[in-house]
Amino acid sequence: MSETPWELLPTASNHAASLDGLYVFLTIVCGISFVLVIGAMLYFMVKYKKRSDNDRTSPLTHSGKLEFAWSAIPAVFLMLFFVWGELDFVKLSAPPADAIDIRVTGQKWYWTIEYPGRPVAATVAALDGEVAPLLVVPLNQPVRLLMTSKDVIHSFYIPAFRVKKDVVPGRYASVWFTAIEEGTFPVFCTEYCGDEHSSMLAIVKVVPADQYEEAVRAATTLEQGEGETVEQFGEKVYKSFACNSCHNTDSTAKVGPGFGGVFGKSESFTDGSSGVVDENYIRESIYSPNAKVVSGFTPQMPSFAGQINDDQMNALIAYIKSLK
């Protein structure tokens, strides 16, 4: 991102230049109006200051021409703002017919990204030290995001593309864009959605069109890499499914219990029973989190049944075991 607060955002999508233009135009017109209005006010304050008790206001009349001018000129500018804004809005609302559809689902506190015809297995990427889900898009090709939420209202915002849209449970929202600059750009959730709202990030990666298929394949394949230990793979799975948005890897609690030293520990549950944290318990906690709810916590964990396969589960267990 920008090095200094004064640097403008990259204009990395087809929408960016026109929206920036409108913004700059608005700022300039408002700046000029401000100077004219406040300047006239200061000038008249001095010019017509009451200087003595004999200083009487002369009879007031009005100037039809002046009144017409100060109504008509701003009205023309208001129409310009409206027409420019409306044209951009219409463009933003109507995706081209050949746009690629990518599904985006928001949930506390991460984004799931699904590509057409690919199994869901979002992998993560790092940007400025932040690890987040990866949205791969091709350069110079229109993309439509079909978005929804599983729980509360989130808002999907790609500042570099100037697209932002609320994501509401129970219905679809969509935005479209054509990325015009290669690179990686951050995505934020801009609707306050709970404790970890500010860590609900994603990363957009724009790749040349001929590398797109390969990049999507890589982004949707979550397998143990060559030379990767099972614990390392487990950590990748852990981050890909954003377990870290609710769990710490030390023993401190977040939304859920911390995992440091949890393996082998005896845990008590809200129904009064207790049990030892072993492989079966971890597996059950991930596939049916509400079967046993740890005392002191609320049943907020979503089920990952159907999302995490056996290899990934084994790696997750190995990783949690390794946390001291």
Interface ranges with Cu ion (CB under 5 A): 154, 189, 193, 200
Span near ligand HEC by CB under 6 A; candidates 10-18, 113-121, 213-221, 298-306: 298-306
State the nearest-atom distance from the C-beta of 318 to ligand HEC, in Å: 12
Burial of 205 (0-12, 13-18, 19+ CB in 10 A): middle
200, interface contact from ligand HEC, Cu ion, none, CB < 5-8 Å by kind: Cu ion
* Positive or negative: CA dihedral 34, 36, 41, 46: positive
Q: Which of residues 65-124 bind ligand HEC (CB under 6 A)?
A: 108
| 233-251 b/e (C-beta count within 10 Å ≥ 16 → b) | bbbbbbbbbbbbbbbbbee
Residue 11 beta carbon to ligand HEC: minimum distance, rounded to whole angstroms: 35
Q: How far is the CB of 151 from Cu ion (least distance, A)?
A: 9
Q: Which residue has the tokens 């440091």?
A: 260
**Do residues 250 and 118 lie in contact, with contact meaning Cβ atoms separated by under 8 Å?**
no
Only one residue has tokens 């004219």, namely: 36
Beta partners for 276?
Answer: 266
Nearest approach in angstroms of CB 285 to ligand HEC is 4
C-alpha torsion 6→7→8→11, nearest 10: -170
Q: How far is the CB of 87 from ligand HEC (least distance, A)?
A: 41
CA angle 160, 161, 165 (to 5 degrees): 115
Q: Closer to ligand HEC by CB, 161 or 263: give it.
A: 263
| Total site size for ligand HEC, rule CB under 6 A | 25
Does residue 132 belong to the site contacting ligand HEC (CB under 6 A)?
no
Q: Burial-class residue 258 by CB neighbours within 10 Å (0-12, 13-18, 19+).
A: middle
Nearest distance, CB of residue 134 and ligand HEC, angstroms: 17
Q: Give, as ranges, the residues between 267 and 296 that touch ligand HEC (CB under 6 A).
A: 267, 277, 282, 285-286, 289, 293-294
Half-sphere exposure of 85 (CA within 13 A, CB side): 10
> Site residues for ligand HEC, window 236-265 (CB under 6 A)?
241-243, 245-247, 255-257, 262
Question: 219 is written with which tokens?
Answer: 């982004």
Q: Which residues bind ligand HEC (CB under 6 A)?
A: 108, 241-243, 245-247, 255-257, 262, 267, 277, 282, 285-286, 289, 293-294, 297, 299-301, 304, 316
